[in-house]
Structure 1
C-alpha cells in the first residue's frame, strides 16, 4: 500500500481549462521509446484529434536487449528535443501553448521515466497549465476507448495487457476500479518471446515482433512435425493447475533443454526454425488464454467485452486464439487497438490523461516517478488533486 501524503513544495496557481476545446501535450518515456503526441480536444462529444505522433526508439540490437542505463540516457537526450520540434512545427508556442500536459509517471524504468516526467513538471510550471501523471498500464487498458470517445468498451470489461514488461488479466469496473485477476510470477510474455526467439536465431530490435513476421512468411510450416517438445506450465500438478498466475520463465528453460536434446543446441534449418517458433508462440499464447478461462470460471464472471493491448497484443495469431476460445464463454465484443497504439506510445497516455482530467483528476507538481504502480492501487499513490 502506498503512503498518502500531500506535498507543499510547489504552490502554483494553475490555469485550469474548462471542459471544452483544449489542447494536450502527452509524453511517454517508461522504457526505451521516447514518445510525444499532440491531441486537440475540440469537444467532449467527439474523440480528440491526433495532431501529431512522434517516437524515437533506442536501437538495442547489438546489446541483445534493453539496457536500463542506455534507455535512460536515450530518453533524457531525446524527449526535450522531440517536444520542442513537435510544438514548434504545429505552432503550439507562446499564447498558443497546450492547455494540459499528460505524462507517464509509472510503472517503468526509473531512469527513463525521470526524463519525461521532470520535463512535464517544468512545462506545467512554465506554462501554468495542469499536469496529469498517468499510469502506463492504464494507458494500454483505456486506449481502445479513444476511437469511441470513451463510450466503448463499457465498464465492466476484461483486459489482457501483454508486453515485454507486463502480462496480466484485469477486470475493470470503472475508470479507477481495476482488479488484477492473473499476473505473472516471474517474467512477462513479451520477455519470454524475445529470449526464446534469440535462442533459435531470430534477431532484431523487437525479437518477438521479428518472430511473428518470420512465422507469417513461413506459414506453410505451422503445425508440422518437428522433434521438439515444450509444454504449457502449471498444468500437470493438481494444486498449481488452478492457480490464477502466469509463469513464462519456464518456457526458456524448456526450450534450451529441448534444443540440447534433439538438435545439439542448434536449430538445423529454416523449416525447423519456423516449426519450433510456431510451437513456442502458440504455447505461450495458450498459457495466457488458459488462465483467462480459469479466471472466468473461478470468478463466475459475466462480461461481454474484452480488450487485448500492449506490444504483444498486436500479434494476429494471439487475437484469433482469443476470439476462438473466449467467444464460447460469453465474450461478444473484442477490442484490439491498431498496432501503433499497442506498443508504447504517447497517444494512449494522452487519452488516459483526458479521461482522468475530465473526471476531475490532476497531479500535484511535487510528485515523482515510481517503478512499480499496480493498477489496483492507482488512487493510493500520493499526489492526486481532485476537483
Structure 2
C-alpha cells in the first residue's frame, strides 16, 4: 500500500471539479491550521448549452476532457506552483455524484498527478462540497455542527440535517427533477434565453420589480399540498411546473409567449415564487417534525439556485420564526459548481484522517448519507478516525 506523509500544519492544495458541464480548478494555500485557508487562484470554463437547450452529457464529457488539463497546466504555471520546490501537496477532486463522462475527465487527471507527484488524493463528494463551503471563511468553525442545509441546484435538491462531518440525514428529497431544472424549464417556456437560464431570469425580473405583485392570468399551484388522502409528505416534486407553464400559455395566451415583457415578468415571478415556496413549505414541515429531537440554530443554503437573492430573503422571512438564528450563504461565485468547494471539503476530510486509494474510480450516484460506505477510503498517518 502506498503511504504519503505530509504535515497537516501547512500544505498546498490543487482542487478539481468536473461533475457536470463545468471544468473547474482551484489553488488553495493551507498556510496555517488555525486560520482560514487562502484562495490563491481559481479557473472555470462552462460548456455553452444555449443551442442545445440544456446539458448534453456527451458534450459535457468532451468539454471537460478537452479543457481540464489545460486549466490545470495554466493555473500552475501562472502561479509558479510547478517548480521542484513549490507544487501541490494534496489533490482534491470530485469523485461523484455526477455524470460519469464528465467526472472521469477530472478524476483520472487527479489520479495521474497524484502518482506523478507522489502526493495524496482525496476523492470528494460533490454535495458535501456544496454543504461545507460556507465553513471555509471561518476555518470550519461556523456554522458548527449540527446544522441544516438546503442544497439546491439544477441537478440536486435536498434538505439535509448534518450532525457531523460524516453524519448527514436527508430530511426532504425530490421524487423527480431538481428545483433548478424546473426554473430553467419555466424560463425557457417563457422566452428566457442564454447559457445560465436561472441567472438570466433573475436579471430579467430585477428590471420589472414593480410588476412582481401585479395581477396576471396564470395557472400555478404548489405541489404536494395536504389533501384527504395525503398529509404532511416530506418530499419535493418540481416536474409539474413545466406543465403548468404550458397550460397557462394554452389557456390564456393562445400557446404563445406574451410579447409584453411586463406580463412575462409577472408570469415568471409567480412561477419562481411558487417553486421557492414549495422548497420552504417542506423545510418548515421538516423542522417542525424535528423540533423535539435537536435544537438547530444554523441554516446553510448552497448550490446554484442559492445565489437567488429573492430566495435568500424568503428563507430568512419564513424560517426565523421557527427558531433559525443564523443563515449562511456562500459568496455568489461559490454557489454554482466550483473547485474551491471541493478543495475545502477535501481539506476537512484530510484533516479528519481520510485520503483516497489510487485504485478507485468515479461514481454516478453517491448519497451524502453514505459518505463513508463507498470503497476506497484510507486512514492516513496524521489522524485516526473510526469508519
Q: What is the match of residue 273 of structure 1?
A: 264
Whether the 8 Å CA contact 1:259–1:266 is kept in 2: the answer is: yes
Q: What is the match of residue 176 of structure 1?
A: 166
The secondary structure found in structure 2 opposite 1:94 is: coil
* CA distance in structure 2 between the partners assigned to 1:377 and 1:39 by the alignment: 27
**1:216 matched to 2:206:** yes
Which residue of the other structure, out of 230, 252, 255, is the alignment partner of 1:262? 252
Which residue of the other structure, out of 120, 126, 151, is the alignment partner of 1:161? 151
Whether the 8 Å CA contact 2:226–2:232 is kept in 1: the answer is: no
Which residue of the other structure, out of 214, 230, 246, is the alignment partner of 2:236? 246
**1:357 matched to 2:350:** yes
* CA distance in structure 1 between the partners assigned to 2:335 and 2:282 by the alignment: 22
**1:202 matched to 2:192:** yes
Which residue of the other structure, out of 134, 138, 141, is the alignment partner of 1:148? 138
How many residues were matched structurally? Answer: 376
| Alpha-carbon shift at residue 209 of structure 1 (Å) | 1.2
**1:54 matched to 2:35:** no
**1:75 matched to 2:61:** no
* CA distance in structure 2 between the partners assigned to 1:331 and 1:230 by the alignment: 29
**1:316 matched to 2:309:** yes
Q: Deviations over 1:217-253 (max 9, x none)?
A: 1111101101112000011424434111000001111
Whether the 8 Å CA contact 2:65–2:106 is kept in 1: the answer is: yes
**1:34 matched to 2:23:** yes
Q: Deviations over 1:299-338 (max 9, x none)?
A: 2252110000000001000000000000000000000001
| Alpha-carbon shift at residue 170 of structure 1 (Å) | 0.1
**Structure 2 alignment gaps of length 5 or more:** 381-387
Whether the 8 Å CA contact 1:33–1:344 is kept in 2: the answer is: yes
Change beyond 3 A, Cα 1:241–1:264? farther
Q: What is the match of residue 177 of structure 2?
A: 187
TM-score by length of 2: 0.96
Whether the 8 Å CA contact 1:244–1:295 is kept in 2: the answer is: yes
Q: What is the match of residue 114 of structure 2?
A: 124
* CA distance in structure 1 between the partners assigned to 2:128 and 2:269 by the alignment: 31
**1:290 matched to 2:289:** no
| Alpha-carbon shift at residue 265 of structure 1 (Å) | 1.4
| Alpha-carbon shift at residue 13 of structure 1 (Å) | 3.5
Q: Which moved more, 1:240-249 or 1:356-365?
A: 240-249
Q: Deviations over 1:344-364 (max 9, x none)?
A: 000000000000000010000
Q: What is the match of residue 366 of structure 1?
A: 359
Structure 1 segments of 4 or more deviating over 6 A?
none
Q: Aligned-residue CA RMSD in angstroms?
A: 0.9
Whether the 8 Å CA contact 2:219–2:247 is kept in 1: the answer is: no
Q: Which moved more, 1:73-82 or 1:87-96?
A: 87-96
**Structure 1 alignment gaps of length 5 or more:** 1-10
Q: Deviations over 1:120-168 (max 9, x none)?
A: 0000000000000000000000000000000000100000000000000
Q: Deviations over 1:163-191 (max 9, x none)?
A: 00000000000001000000000000000
* CA distance in structure 1 between the partners assigned to 2:160 and 2:67 by the alignment: 33
Q: What is the match of residue 335 of structure 1?
A: 328
* CA distance in structure 2 between the partners assigned to 1:380 and 1:123 by the alignment: 25
Q: Which moved more, 1:45-54 or 1:237-246?
A: 237-246
Whether the 8 Å CA contact 1:13–1:128 is kept in 2: the answer is: no
The secondary structure found in structure 1 opposite 2:342 is: helix
**1:306 matched to 2:299:** yes
